[in-house]
Copies of this chain bind each other. A is one copy, B any other.
């Protein structure tokens, strides 16, 4: 972590104390739990008996907090013997602190694993019992705390209380329920304002809301949670995205394969996944046979069976398989939400089987494909290179690891992609590249990965005959460019706020008739037919509504081009498309003949441009 992160964390944690102090001022009988730093802010768990804090109380709490901040109280660190601390907790009427201190006395920090142990004021590290604990005092408020804090309450930056939620003490349902009060905090008012604006924007862009409004996907109670069903419009997005992802790799010799969604569990016993991930698999019960089957949670073991289905020579390598297919993972339903986390995960998966000396070129190709993809979807990309460390937690020879890590870095450097390196972040079976894409409101999402694998080829006994006629083990490279199609869609819908570029728009053009007269309808039908011959996705709104209402309906669906068909258009054979705002500087294009307009839209779709050419 950088110093500025440390500083911001100290501010946020100091605000947790200030909030707790304010609450004790307002409700002197408040019993305090713990108050750690979280992403973008902090919280504190509080027991107020039957007093329920609501958003209406936030203003009062914030006023009290500002008083403490204005008082600029200094944060003083104290140390107390553990028994003295327990007496203090008892006397102060703080039973939760007392419980924590007793636990610390008994067994040291390990017992407090369910808490954010860092937050506790333990001084003796490790598993042994604790002798002394630290406290921080500001004004009249004193709290068991490891620190660090800012110097004084005046130096906590900008903050805002956000929400209150129920939380069981120490996360156990049998414990009392407390109230968890969340705040966000940043160094400056400006940073806070930017964050709050983004939050507001993120709400508007929520892909679950847009998914419904734009008729992209639905869930059904009868089908089950985490199992989205895609409408025709959503299916266009799915297919265009995954076709493009495939096309980018087919350029480099990847070939599509197909494997079933189920397998005998032997396959995962052989791969080693059964021992590691057996509990996350959906088990299948065959009523007709004694087969023990599972749903595939990944495709690599199946793909090794294709590689192994015939002898391979060094000249045949690399063998490159590509498959967009759905894997199933038995997620807890509580963790599922929209498309961000689903149980039916469609991966744009691929596997390369290559020689060690081919790694760099293959990585290079995949990086090029990823760069092209993320440039097209207009998201900035940076990558993390995850290497091994010096521990012995890694399989495969160290020489191979070092060569592979160098090849990864060479490929990333040659592709001029922003990157950073992290030792000790590799999987046990090989180093990897994780791609992070930044969306339109500044959030970074992990998307594609390229993962080397020295272990599965060995476990499955994969071979190729080298030039010297000796059998050798190939290296595997796992790669998905979108990652999970569903998760990518959740990111991309929010990135674009549903304003998809022409190549992805489920409906690219909408024709709106000004009346239901025969000649109007016929003219619209003629355009429709021509557009469909060009492969365009086009609809006609010939309903008996006002033109204004029909335009608004098309705008609601974020259709890139709206074309009104009336007397003038029929006479001139020219149309004046209304262009969706984000695609162009001007709202209306000039008039142009239908015979120019349609091919131009078709060519935008083919070239996958993000802006209109009109």
Q: A5 to chain B: closest CB distance in Å?
A: 34
Q: Which residues of B contact A315 (CB under 8 A)?
A: 543
Stretch binding the partner chain, chosen from A219-227, A353-361, A373-381, A553-561: A219-227
Q: Within the assembled complex, what's the spacing in Å between the Cα atoms of A358 and B596?
A: 36
- Please give the count of copies of this chain that the complex contains: 2
Q: Which residues of B contact A90 (CB under 8 A)?
A: none
From B224, B230, B239, contact of A263 by CB (8 A)? B224
Stretch binding the partner chain, chosen from A80-88, A92-100, A252-260: A252-260
Best-buried of A218, A289, A543 by chain B (most CB within 10 Å): A289
B284 touches A259 (CB 8 A): no
Can you list 22 A-B contacts with CB-CB less than 8 angstroms, sorted by A residue number? A223-B263, A224-B264, A224-B293, A225-B291, A227-B262, A229-B257, A229-B258, A229-B302, A229-B305, A229-B306, A238-B258, A260-B344, A261-B295, A262-B343, A280-B288, A281-B287, A282-B284, A282-B286, A282-B293, A283-B287, A284-B284, A288-B332
* Interface residues on chain A, number (Cβ under 8 Å): 63
Q: Within the assembled complex, what's the spacing in Å between the Cα atoms of A227 and B266?
A: 14
Q: Within the assembled complex, what's the spacing in Å between the Cα atoms of A267 and B220?
A: 9
A260 touches B309 (CB 8 A): no
A258 touches B287 (CB 8 A): no
Contacts A218-B309, A222-B266, A289-B333 known; list 7 others, CB within 8 Å. Answer: A215-B310, A221-B266, A222-B263, A222-B305, A224-B264, A281-B287, A282-B284
A326 touches B260 (CB 8 A): yes
Best-buried of A231, A260, A287, A332 by chain B (most CB within 10 Å): A260
Instruction: Name which residue of chain B comes closest to A279, CB basis.
Output: B287
A595 within 8 A of B: no
Q: Which residues of B contact A328 (CB under 8 A)?
A: 261-262
A228 within 8 A of B: yes
A285 within 8 A of B: yes
A220 touches B305 (CB 8 A): yes
From B223, B270, B331, contact of A260 by CB (8 A)? B223
A260 touches B305 (CB 8 A): no
A321 within 8 A of B: yes
Query: When each residue 503-532 of chain A gets 1 if its CB lies under 8 Å from chain B and 0 otherwise, what string results?
Result: 000000000000000000000000000000
Q: Within the assembled complex, what's the spacing in Å between the Cα atoms of A215 and B311?
A: 12
B283 touches A285 (CB 8 A): yes
A151 within 8 A of B: no
Q: Which residues of B contact A331 (CB under 8 A)?
A: 288
A256 touches B283 (CB 8 A): no
Q: Which residues of B contact A238 (CB under 8 A)?
A: 258
Query: When each residue 268-284 of chain A gets 1 if its CB lies under 8 Å from chain B and 0 otherwise, what string results?
Result: 00100000000111111
A431 within 8 A of B: no
Q: Within the assembled complex, what's the spacing in Å between the Cα atoms of A438 and B218?
A: 42
Instruction: Name which residue of chain B comes closest to A293, CB basis.
Output: B224
Q: Which residues of B contact A302 (CB under 8 A)?
A: 223, 229
A232 within 8 A of B: yes
A474 within 8 A of B: no
Q: Which residues of B contact A577 (CB under 8 A)?
A: none
Q: Within the assembled complex, what's the spacing in Å between the Cα atoms of A229 and B306?
A: 7
B222 touches A235 (CB 8 A): no
A330 within 8 A of B: yes
Q: A553 to chain B: closest CB distance in Å?
A: 14
Which of A428-458 touch B at CB < 8 Å? none
Q: Which residues of B contact A222 (CB under 8 A)?
A: 263-264, 266-267, 270, 301, 305
Q: Within the assembled complex, what's the spacing in Å between the Cα atoms of A286 and B103?
A: 36
Instruction: Name which residue of chain B comes closest to A323, CB basis.
Output: B235
Q: Within the assembled complex, what's the spacing in Å between the Cα atoms of A527 and B509?
A: 39
A234 within 8 A of B: yes
Q: Within the assembled complex, what's the spacing in Å between the Cα atoms of A299 and B221?
A: 16
A267 touches B332 (CB 8 A): no
A291 touches B229 (CB 8 A): no
A256 touches B235 (CB 8 A): yes
